[in-house]
Amino acid sequence: MTSEIVVDPAPHPAWLPDGALAAAGRRRVAVATPEPAEPQRGGVAPPGSDSSPQVVATLRAELERATAAHGGAVVDPDGSPDLLLALVHEVSGPGARLPARGPDTSGGDGFRIVRDGGRVTVTAETPTALLHGWFHVVRHGETAFTGPDVDERHAPAFALRVLDHWDNVDVHPVMGQVERGYSGGSIFYADGRVRDDLSRVTTYARLLAATGVDRVCINNVNVHAREARLLTDDLPEVARVAAAMRPYGVRTHLAVSFAAPMTLGGLPTSDPLDDDVRAWWRAAADRVWATIPDFGGFVVKADSEGQPGPFAYGRDHADGANLLAEAVAPHDGVVHWRAFVYDHTQDWRDRTTDRARAAYDHFAPLDGRFADNVVVQVKHGPIDFQTREAVSPVLAGMPATRLALELQVTQEYTGQQRHACYLAPWWSENLGFRPWGAGEDGAAVRDVVAGRGPSAPAAVADAGGGGIAAVSNVGDDRFWTGHPLAQANLYAFGRLAWDPTLEPAAILDEWVGLTFAGPDGGLEPRVREALHAVLDDSWRTYESYTAPLGVGFMVRPGHHYGPDVDGYEYTPWGTYHFADRDGIGVDRTRATGTGFTGQYPEPWRDVYEDLATCPDELLLFFHHVPYTHVLRSGVTVVQHVYDTHFAGVERVREAVAAWESLADLVPGALPADVDARVRERLAEQLRSAVEWRDQLNTYFFRKSGIPDAHGRTIF
């Protein structure tokens, strides 16, 4: 007899199942607000002020929901509640005022939490901040009430914490509904329009509010003709999306096309210095904010992979970005302008052009020319979201510009949500990277994007820098993210956006505790153990059976899944490894290569330049070496390829075994549908890892003629 899994059509609760609310829900809780809770101005907060009564209403509904599920009660603020959430005009008490507010933030996002003899009081100056305080209490479960007395202030490190959706309104013939999406369709669009039922979007905003993300760009940065109209004809529809996210304090952004004045406005040009073009953008922005008063701003991909941009008019990217900045400035809007600009029509025979150099070459000379409300959004690496690449030197090269770090939660190059690959350790490494080593007070990338980089001018510092952005991995899949365990990546991004110093394993622990909470909030310890075994090192495991030593790509062109060592080698995309019979890697040195190492400040410009000091994990990113080059581990490059690829597959087998060890908990501590989906994905991961191992090992054996020192099977 086959046991049938009954699939609940409602989306999976992710990290907010009712069980996660148990500790607070069992208690007497209250909300105190000095302001009227009834919606004003149609329920829309005045731009930038975030006095949205809707969020207060949300908070009350959260407390009702938690107490109804767990037997507690919502009481009067003066009825001795165990938990009091109080909106105040100014947070008082020891210490300075709440930190972390910039002109683009929706007011102070921080809150104060005091636990005194088991009674907890959260105070904040805005409803959204208070909501963050509520989710802080939820995250801490019983210990929120039973821990030692505390008086703490919490505020997000970054003023802007954005998720970008690469969702198309129309299904794109090649890229589908969601470009690089591995979780079904879009939660925003279906059948060529904004969905009628946006309840799932509100649930998404709730999940995001519980992590710290406060802005969502709802369409693809590759803006096709249909999607361009979101800016004009479809504004009322965009307003519906904004209304669906507003109750949780999440603001809406749109990706726009630089050519919009021509394609939508009928003008003969999109030249950023043309007066009619400037007037067109001002009118467009005025209409947007008239329709959505708390709209966030625009995201732009220009002169990149076929998207239009200022180069067509002999203008640069500061001219382009400032055009839009001028249009949104009266509304306190922000322009996220992407630095992902390179030549995608390169001649593979040309060894002098280096895609890694492109963003810095285009943008660093423009430092200081961007308007105060422009954020230059920089991918973490100089190539494209690879499993391993160097940190982009742009992040150290534009001190007078608000910079945002761009990450990719959707697993385009890291297993497409068929492989378990927990990315927080990788993001943490990038955030913690110190571009000046111990110099410049040891400032790290996370300081730069918070506006605290060396020599940041007041405008950058006061705005809190450009913050952080990432490409979402969410779709209309029941589990939101295709692979249920990929939810951990979405959660981790939100938590790192709030506090980039959090430990990845601690974030995972939080995620497990919430997501797998039983009805009374408890967690089966074996589930925690197994999930750490599967996920903690999964990014390094993935790295070990895919492209080695920072060389990148080697994926199937187009869809980017699975191995194809030479797939991009003779293409125009600028992503080469230069493997021949003797060696492999890209010479990016100043001495003999493309000179990319020169884009870094000291110490890295010399550390990377010198084969003797370049870290092994980035060796092939910076150097072309013989297969017999000996790594610090004592093995040669080619032996390292063999060893890591054999070991990587074994580690996947161990992950499969760790998950299977939970079989007796299904159903119960482990829901049957989650188990079934995870098993299906792990089986594919193992199949794919074996394929990667065998193709990579065979390729390098055939190229080099050097056998595996341990005589293992290579084809």
Contact residues toward ligand GCV (CB under 6 A) are 166, 179-180, 221-222, 301, 340, 384, 412
Euclidean distance between CA atoms 26 and 145, whole angstroms: 11
Residue number, 194 or 555, with CB nearest to ligand GCV: 555
The one catalytic residue in 305, 350, 520, 606 is 305
Minimum distance, C-beta of residue 324 to ligand GCV, in the bound complex (Å): 17
Active-site residue flag, 152: no
Q: Do residues 539 and 428 make contact, with C-beta atoms less than 8 angstroms apart?
A: no
Residue number, 54 or 307, with CB nearest to ligand GCV: 307
Euclidean distance between CA atoms 483 and 284, whole angstroms: 39
Euclidean distance between CA atoms 648 and 562, whole angstroms: 15
Minimum distance, C-beta of residue 301 to ligand GCV, in the bound complex (Å): 5
What's the helix, strand, coil split of the chain in %, to 5?
40, 10, 50
The one catalytic residue in 125, 384, 447, 476 is 384
Q: Could you tell me which residues come within 8 angstroms of residue 38 by beta carbon, excluding any fewer than 6 positions away?
A: 53
Instruction: Supply the Cα-derived Rg of the chain in whole angstroms.
Output: 25
Residue number, 219 or 688, with CB nearest to ligand GCV: 219
Tokens of residue 292, six digits: 């959505």
Residue number, 323 or 555, with CB nearest to ligand GCV: 555
Give just the sign of the alpha carbon dihedral 678, 679, 684, 688: positive
Pairing of strands 176-178, 334-338: unpaired
Euclidean distance between CA atoms 611 and 631, whole angstroms: 10
Q: What are phi and psi of 391, to 5 degrees?
A: -75, 140
Euclidean distance between CA atoms 371 and 392, whole angstroms: 22
The one catalytic residue in 412, 447, 609, 708 is 412
Minimum distance, C-beta of residue 175 to ligand GCV, in the bound complex (Å): 7
Tokens of residue 178, six digits: 């969601």
Q: What are phi and psi of 151, to 5 degrees?
A: -140, 100
Residue number, 220 or 589, with CB nearest to ligand GCV: 220
Alpha helix locations (H) across 177-267?
199-209, 225-228, 235-245, 260-263
Q: Could you tell me which residues come within 8 angstroms of residue 583 by beta carbon, excluding any fewer than 6 positions away?
A: 624, 625, 626, 627, 629, 637
Produce one character per residue of 67-79: b if its CB has 16 or more CB atoms within 10 Å, e if not: bebbebbbbeeee
In sequence order, what are the beta bridge partners of 630? Answer: 636
Residue number, 180 or 540, with CB nearest to ligand GCV: 180
Q: Could you tell me which residues come within 8 angstroms of residue 108 by beta carbon, excluding any fewer than 6 positions away?
A: 91, 97, 98, 100, 101, 124, 125, 126, 129, 155
Residue reference for tokens 């999607």 = 227
Tokens of residue 282, six digits: 């001002």
Give just the sign of the alpha carbon dihedral 409, 413, 419, 422: negative
- In this structure, the number of other CB atoms found within 10 A of the CB of residue 458 comes to 8
Q: Using DSSP, state whether 379 is helix, strand or coil.
A: strand
Residue number, 72 or 381, with CB nearest to ligand GCV: 381
Q: Is omega for the bond preceding 615 within 30 degrees of 0, making it cis?
A: no
Active-site residue flag, 412: yes
Active-site residue flag, 524: no
Residue number, 377 or 541, with CB nearest to ligand GCV: 377
Residue number, 341 or 398, with CB nearest to ligand GCV: 341
Q: How far is CA 579 from each of CA 192, 583, 584, 627, rounded to the nearest angstrom? A: 45, 6, 4, 10
Produce one character per residue of 271-282: b if its CB has 16 or more CB atoms within 10 Å, e if not: bbebeebbebbb
Minimum distance, C-beta of residue 166 to ligand GCV, in the bound complex (Å): 5
Q: Do residues 159 and 463 make contact, with C-beta atoms less than 8 angstroms apart?
A: yes
Q: Do residues 51 and 85 make contact, with C-beta atoms less than 8 angstroms apart?
A: no
Produce one character per residue of 317-356: b if its CB has 16 or more CB atoms within 10 Å, e if not: bbbbbbbbbbbbbebbbbbbbbbbbbeeebebeeeeebbb
Residue number, 222 or 373, with CB nearest to ligand GCV: 222
Residue number, 62 or 412, with CB nearest to ligand GCV: 412
Produce one character per residue of 218-240: b if its CB has 16 or more CB atoms within 10 Å, e if not: bbbbbbbebbbbbbeebbebbbb
Identity at 130, one-letter amino acid code: L
Angle at 564 between CA 559 and CA 570, to 5 degrees: 90
Residue numbers annotated as active site: 305, 384, 412
